Amino acid sequence: MMTRTMLRTLFAAAACTAIAVGATAVSVRAQDAPKGDVARGKQIYMADGCFLCHGRVGQGGGYNAPVPPLAKTELPYEAVKMQLRTPSDDMPAYSSAVISDEQIADIYAYLQSLPGRRDPKSIAILNN
Amino acid sequence: MTKRRQTPEANRRNFLKSATLVGAAAVAAPVTARAQAAAPHAKPKAPPPGPRQIAVETQAPSIDPMYNQSTSGGDFMVDVLKTLDIDYLAINCASSFRGLHEAVLNHGNNTKPEIITCAHEEIAVHMGQGYAKMEGRPIAMACHGVVGLQHATMAMYNAWCDRVPIMVLGGNIMEANKRAPGAEWVHSGVDINSIVRDFTKWDDQPTTLQHFAESTVRAYKIATTPPMGPVMLSLDAELQENPIADAESLRIPKLARVVPPQGDAGALAEAAKLLVAAQNPLIICDRVARTPDGMAHLVELAETLQCAVLDLQGRMNFPSRHPLNQTFRRSVVLNQADVIIAMEVNDLWGTLNNFRDQIVRTSHPAIKPTTKTITLGVRDLYLKSNYQDFGRYQDVDLDIAGDAQASLPALIEAVKRQTDDGRKAAFAARGKKLADAHAQAVERAKSDATLGWDASPITTARMCAEVYAQIKDEDWSLVGNTIRNTWPHRLWDFKNPHQWNGVSGGAGVGYNAPASLGAALANKRHGRLTVTFNGDGDLMFVPQTLWTAAHHRIPILYVVHNNRAWHQEYMYLQAMAARHGRGIENTKIGTTITDPNVDYATVARGFGVHGEGPIVDPKDLAPALSRAVAAVKSGQPALVDVVTDQR
């Protein structure tokens, strides 16, 4: 079980420097996430405004500070849930009355379903 | 603007009219007689010239003081402006400065200054802000003294916060008995400058032409002396319009070259000692580079120390791809630093602390408690108390008052003097680590940019990458950006001093479109390709800027980052709703620009600007940008409306 501090560190690392954590351990955690519904997750992601800061396809953005990408996030489900309930930065908090644990699992499933990163070398204009 | 109304009331002119009426009639009579004599010879196809036309063509100019004058105060004012080498006078025409306006055109031949016609005073001032940052010297703007100045105020506040010089001239009619009833009363004031005094460096209301000459030269000197800022002169309409009574006594003062204040040599040596001894020194720069030399000096200091640079991008301070540029490793380099030198940083507290915008607002330092901080800059040499643009007070260890750019050569020399071979080896090792970290940050930026690459609405990363692909081989200049669009500085190779010129200063919306155009006006003479990213929310404040671009043939590429919202506020409203657990469904009300969606390409075409879009499919972006860049290279303004995701 990850501690709150560890989870917070994970999220802060993501916010500051994209993903800066051990990928293997994290992907194990991702598999541990409760099963969610992708379609429902997308609907909640849009309806509850996640897209406003994190982008419609989870590409990240900016609020009062840079907002981390979430597409195919390597953050564990528990870290995402903790950030939603008790955010470590300026992100609004979402209580269980607004977004249930089940809905968080749906959102998490949607994030995992997104295309994620490509190899920048495959896109010529990113190598100017 | 309401024009000054002619009334038959007994003002100065009517007094003169009464006094000269008989004489005028006497002069007219023989002219009429001659005209009648000439009439039988006139060809029947055209109406015969009237007595007035014949008089104009055959008589010496009238010396009737009721109708004619051979000099005016406005002419002298233009002569004063010419000595200051002011390129442009941006205006929205108004009767209270009609004397000056006419003099610029016909006495000054509409050159230095040349009139730039704007459809709002906010546009005129912001154009001056953009121009001054690009060209390194101010232009002037003129406005109606009351209502026009009220329009201009927000832009003047932006310029004040951004420490940019602008000469603002506001027409006024000072003597009550000279004002016609109606508009001239409601557009006059006892002290029109009062509404901008909190955010101008200096102002005056000259009462004589000699007073005008001295105050204008003084205003220019004050505006261009660091810390720079806008200045304001109230121009009496009578002073502009009346004949010059004492021409032989007028004198235009000499403008001396202003030498910016330099930091104390002893203090700079002390700063150098701290920087040389530091394990992880950090340079933070904001509005440092006033001229191309500024960037060269900063690079030399950073390379001498092989230290990290955090560029707050208030000016084109530091090359984006320089290995020591650690701007996108902000929290890491702040946390690692043991000595920080912050140069021309306005909000130092905000830079060195993390602030949480939650129900209970909290903060904690982003730096270690033992970190030594040095400031170098001129900000504190001129502050005012009402508007709070100076930010929260930050403890520092060494506070050096002096213009950073002017002080850099002495600081560099002091660093070099104190650096022995042992430190040089340590510096080199440090530089190597920083270069590796920079390279990783660049690769990470490219990887981040691939997220949602083919999505519609288009990601801002894709938009910026596509624009760069079109301009990278040109002599480009990015002169405006949207809120928190970091992609250009993460992906593009900024290496020349004219490739960036900072942001609004006061965060007043409506800056970007006209300030970018002002920068483009400066770039035009240098043959540069000017590009700006313009938020749709900003463009909605001053869309008529596009007409000025077309009217004056100013080449510029506007890329509209069209997220169909004032998106920062949209997110804030979401945060408010989330606090209450009320859902965000209603937060689009009052924050979004939809229903109907604005077609900015059509708007652009309506103003005479080449328009492309709306582009919703990323595959259509490159061809549209290519056509728009071709239009700009042919000398036209162009706009590409890109429907984007939020950020």
Closest-CA distance of chain A to residue B331, Å: 7
pLDDT at B28: 37
The closest CB to that of A59, out of B452, B466, B581, belongs to: B452
Distance of CA A79 to the CA centre of its chain: 9
Picking from B201, B183, B176, B102, the residue whose alpha carbon sits closest to that of residue B142 is B102
What is the value of pTM for the model shown? 0.90
Give A18's contacts in chain B (Cβ within 8 Å).
444, 447-448
Closest-CA distance of chain B to residue A40, Å: 17
Closest-CA distance of chain A to residue B549, Å: 30
Residues with pLDDT less than 70, chain A = 1-31
Strand partners, B476: B529
Chain B, 491 to 510: residues with Cβ < 8 Å from chain A are 491, 493
Nearest 5°: CA angle at B398, between B396 and B402?
A: 110
Picking from B559, B551, B553, the residue whose alpha carbon sits closest to that of residue B641 is B559
pLDDT at B535: 98
Q: How far apart are CA B161 and CA B218, in angstroms?
A: 21
Distance of CA B450 to the CA centre of its chain: 34
Residue type, B305: L
pLDDT at B257: 85
| 3-state secondary structure at position A15 | helix
pLDDT at A5: 55
Closest-CA distance of chain B to residue A92, Å: 5
Give B459's contacts in chain A (Cβ within 8 Å).
55, 57, 59
Max distance between CA atoms of chain A, in angstroms, equals: 48
Residues with pLDDT less than 70, chain B = 1-47, 52, 55-56, 60-63
pLDDT at A4: 55
Token pair for B121: 């005073």
Peptide bond into B457 cis (omega under 30): yes
Placement of tokens 């051979």 in the chain: B70
pLDDT at B62: 59
Cβ of A57 and B645 within 8 Å?
A: yes
Sign of CA dihedral B488, B494, B500, B502: positive
| 3-state secondary structure at position B169 | strand
**Per-residue DSSP letter, B111:** -
Q: How far apart are CA B286 and CA B130, in angstroms?
A: 17
Give A120's contacts in chain B (Cβ within 8 Å).
443, 446-447, 449-450
Query: pLDDT tens digits, residue range B88-100?
Result: 999 999 999 999 9
Q: Does A23 touch chain B (CB under 8 A)?
A: no
Q: What is the percentage of chain B residues whose pLDDT exceeds 90?
A: 87
Contacts of residue A105, defined as CB under 8 A and 6 or more positions apart, other chains included, come to A33, A34, A35, A36, A41, A77
Placement of tokens 């004949």 in the chain: B243
Residue type, B189: G
Task: Name the residue in chain B with its Cα closest to that of A12.
Answer: B331
Residue type, B227: P
Q: How far apart are CA A35 and CA B430, in angstroms?
A: 47
Cβ of A92 and B578 within 8 Å?
A: yes
Q: Does A51 touch chain B (CB under 8 A)?
A: yes
pLDDT at B56: 64
Query: pLDDT tens digits, residue range B495-510?
Result: 999 999 999 999 999 9
Sheet holding B88-91, edge to edge: B114-117, B88-91, B140-144, B167-172, B231-236, B202-204
Q: How far apart are CA A104 and CA B423, in angstroms?
A: 53
Q: Does B450 touch chain A (CB under 8 A)?
A: yes
User: What's chain B's Rg over C-alpha atoms?
Assistant: 29
Q: How many CB pairs under 8 A join A and B?
A: 131
Closest-CA distance of chain A to residue B376, Å: 26
Phi-psi region of A65 (alpha: psi -120 to 50; beta: other; left: phi over 0): beta
Cβ of B446 and A98 within 8 Å?
A: no
Peptide bond into B596 cis (omega under 30): yes
Strand partners, B561: B535, B642
Q: Does B469 touch chain A (CB under 8 A)?
A: yes
Q: Does B220 touch chain A (CB under 8 A)?
A: no
pLDDT at B3: 42
